[in-house]
Chain A
Amino acid sequence: MAIKPVIRVQRDDFDIAREIALATAGHPGIGAVVTFSGICRDDGGSLAALELEHYPGMAERAINEIALQAAERWPLQAITAIHRYGRVEPGENIVLVLAASAHRQAAFDGAAFLMDFLKSKAPFWKKLIAADGSDGGWVDAKESDDEALQRWSAAEGFERS
């Protein structure tokens, strides 16, 4: 079944319960919804905020491509991915991915896949704003993020369920 992923790149916050309701409405075959939300942490009190920069136009497109790959790989009936930009303070949402399917495993795997690819392929960059308001520099990409992608290519030969 062809699904149309819901992709949004926005400054404003989002409501996870509302996104679940929107994603599942009109899909009575959905039996499992997995959501992941990434939240800004305060790093032990040293962080006042993150300033998220993105590449307008490309960001939506890159996330949509990732979502379409997930839809090809697992029998998903709904996908939502929302990424915020601008200033985000500790405790606030940064990102949401949602994958819905008839059964839980595809929903779990689909959401994990979306998140792993989003971290390394979607054009967003985080700048740290220190507790005293000074520029804390750009967050460095982690090698572990690239390694997270490897497991999906290693699992490529596995049977889809």
Chain B
Amino acid sequence: MTISEQVPNTSSTSRPVKLVYFAWVRERIGVAQEEMAIPSSVVTVRDLLHWLKDRGEGYEQALQVPDVIRVALDHEHADHDEPIGNAREIGLFPPMTGG
């Protein structure tokens, strides 16, 4: 979780993360998953949602109300004020409607 644990590389300001999308979040963004370099300025889940929202029209449409989006870090539900830490897979989806 700490900076000292990060492996030094040529682009130390960002690291690749696998983003996976479901239901209408997936439909609006237009892809089911993608690898993305997340800048180090993105600390919390909330930061990530706002950063992603500015990446294009589909993202804007999917994330226009960030508060309703649910997020999972490596398959675990996460609150919006949690740090994304070293999560390798981040899932973004609407409130769940199973059962």
Q: Residues of A with Cβ closer than 8 Å to B?
A: 38, 52-55, 57-58, 61-62, 83, 94-95, 115, 118-127, 138-141
Contacts and interface: CB of A to CB of B under 8 A. Distances in A.
B23 A138 contact: yes
Contact of B72 (A58, A119, A125): A58
Contact of B97 (A57, A61, A62, A138): A138
A141 B93 CA distance: 12
A139 B97 contact: yes
B51 interface: no
Interface string B28-42: 000000000000000
B97 A140 contact: yes
A141 B22 CA distance: 14
Contacts of B75: 55, 57-58, 61-62
The A contact surface, by secondary structure, is mixed
A145 B5 CA distance: 41
B96 A120 contact: yes
B69 to A, nearest CB: 12
30 contacts: A38-B99, A52-B98, A53-B23, A55-B20, A55-B22, A55-B91, A55-B93, A57-B75, A58-B72, A58-B75, A61-B76, A83-B98, A94-B99, A95-B98, A120-B95, A121-B77, A123-B22, A123-B72, A123-B98, A124-B98, A125-B94, A126-B97, A126-B98, A127-B23, A138-B94, A139-B97, A141-B94, A141-B95, A141-B96, A141-B97
Contacts of B96: 119-125, 141
Nearest to B25: A125
Interface string B54-91: 00000000000000000010011100000000000001
A125 B98 CA distance: 6
Give the one of A94, A119, A124 with max B CB within 10 A: A124
A122 to B, nearest CB: 5
A124 B77 contact: no
B94 A58 contact: no
- Which 7 A-B pairs rank lowest in CB-CB distance, beginning with the nearest? A124-B98, A141-B95, A125-B23, A119-B99, A58-B75, A139-B97, A126-B97
B24 A138 contact: yes
A124 B94 contact: no
